[in-house]
Every structure is written in structure tokens, then in C-alpha cells.
Amino acid sequence: MTSCAANRRSRWAAALLLGVLGLGGCSLFCSEPPPPVYFPVCVTLKSSARLNWFRGGAHTVFARVVALSSVEAFEAAQLSVLLAEQPPFLPGMVGAPKQADIHPSTETTFSLDAVAGQTFGSVGVAVGYYQPLGKSKLVVTTKDTTTGTCFIVNLGEAGIDEQVTTVTPTPTPDD
């Protein structure tokens, strides 16, 4: 009787051990890997010496930058709505917009990060020019970029330059 009871206990312990290892092993080895993280990113607004040029001089502009999970609502919105004193909430916006007065010959950098697990694949830039002759809003695609990448958007004398420069951080060697 004693050896039979011990045999049952060892089988039960072996089954329990295999079950724990099997469940733990599956949760450790069978789950899908987490999605890659591409945040934070930054957007630098680099202004021309002739920013918002009219009446023979350069002038300050107001700019708003917003992270976007989808771009349709941003692209469809009128500039006056995007730059309203009370920032709009548009479908596809992630987090609160960032804003600043941009002066001629300056660089202003905005850091954007995923909020509460939300991700974004684009950044919308809206700029209030007095007499825009070019673009006043632009969508920059940030999806699948390296963490810490910075996008430089040039603000010209009468509109946003469509050519965006991407600056990717250089990896540092491990010590």
C-alpha cells in the first residue's frame, strides 16, 4: 500500500509539474511578440528668415502639431478649425495637440509620444500664415520609423515646404 500511494503521489506531482511547465512554457514561448515601439518621435519646425513675409517684413506664425492614427479628418478640416483657440477634437487624433508661436529664423521642436497605449502613424502640422501662397497644413508619415527619429518641416515665407527632412538617431556602440 505504501509504495502504491507513493507511486500515485509521484505521478500526480509529475503531471502537475508538466502542466505548470506546459502552461508557463506556452505563455512564455507561444504568445505573439509585442508590436515594435516607434515612439517618441519629434517634429522640428524650422522657420525661414522671411517667415510669413508681407509688407516688407517677416512675421510670427501660430503652429499646431498633432499626432494622428488616421489622417482623413485632419486633411478634410479647414485651417481655421485646426488653428481655433480651442483645439478641435477630430477623429484620428491621438493625445492633445501641441502648439507654439513660431518666430522667423528659429527652430521649435515638439516631442510626440504614444498616449495610454494608443499609437499613431502620422503627424499633422497646421500653420497660420497671413497670406498663404503655399501649403498651410501638412501630414508627415511617421509609421515604421526608428525610435527618436525627428522630422524637420521647413516653414517658408508664404507656406510650408513639402520637402520634409528625416533625421534618424545614430546607434551608440555598447560599452
Q: pLDDT tens-digit profile of 89-128?
A: 999 999 889 999 999 999 999 998 877 777 899 999 999 9
The total of other beta-carbon atoms located within 10 Å of residue 70's CB is 15
Contact by Cβ (8 Å): 68, 122: yes
Q: Considering only 64-68, 161-165, 169-173, which range has the smallest mean pLDDT?
A: 169-173
**Tens digit of each residue's pLDDT (9 = 90 or more) over 36-45:** 555 688 999 9
How many Cα atoms occupy the beta-carbon half-sphere of 20 within 13 Å?
A: 6
Give the residue from 47, 40, 38, 39 showing the smallest Cα distance to 153. 47
Contact by Cβ (8 Å): 63, 126: yes
